[in-house]
Structure 1
């Protein structure tokens, strides 16, 4: 797989388009809080967003609830514990 991550400014633009706080973006991307999210959008050496985090967030934006529930059920069927609404 070839992957070029979005730039920090691309991620900030998405945040503004969605009208979400840093904490809400962290929840969307599955990272630990707004402070963690800001590591991807700023600072001296911002982190690159991994393809799996980006895929997870975009899937949550694009897929309907039934499809997401089906994927989560498949994850649980092989032993995962996952609750999207829990920190």
Structure 2
């Protein structure tokens, strides 16, 4: 697979286009919080977004609720426990 991550400006543009907060973007992409999200959109050495993170966020934007639930059901059938409505902090304490 060949992958070039989006530039920080691309991710900031997406955030602006979606009119979401940093915390909302973090939730969308499975990042710990708004402070972590900002590491992908700026700073002296911005982080590159891994392809699986980008895929997760893009899937949540592109798939219908039924399609997304189908993927989550498949993940659960493979042994995962997943609840997209739970925040990352609560799952870290389980």
User: Which aligned runs of 4 or more in structure 1 are off by greater than 3 angstroms?
Assistant: none
Q: CA RMSD in A?
A: 0.5
In structure 2, the residue matched to 1:44 is 44
Gap regions ≥5 residues in structure 1 = none
Question: SS of the residue aligned with 1:39?
Answer: helix
- Which residue of structure 1 aligns with residue 21 of structure 2? 21
- What is the Cα deviation at residue 78 of structure 1? 1.0
Give me the TM-score of the superposition, normalised by structure 1: 0.98
Match for residue 67 of structure 1?
67
Q: 1:2-47 deviations in whole A, cap 9, x for unaligned?
A: 0000100000000000000000000000110100000000111000
TM-score (norm 2): 0.91
Where does residue 9 of structure 1 map in the other structure? 9
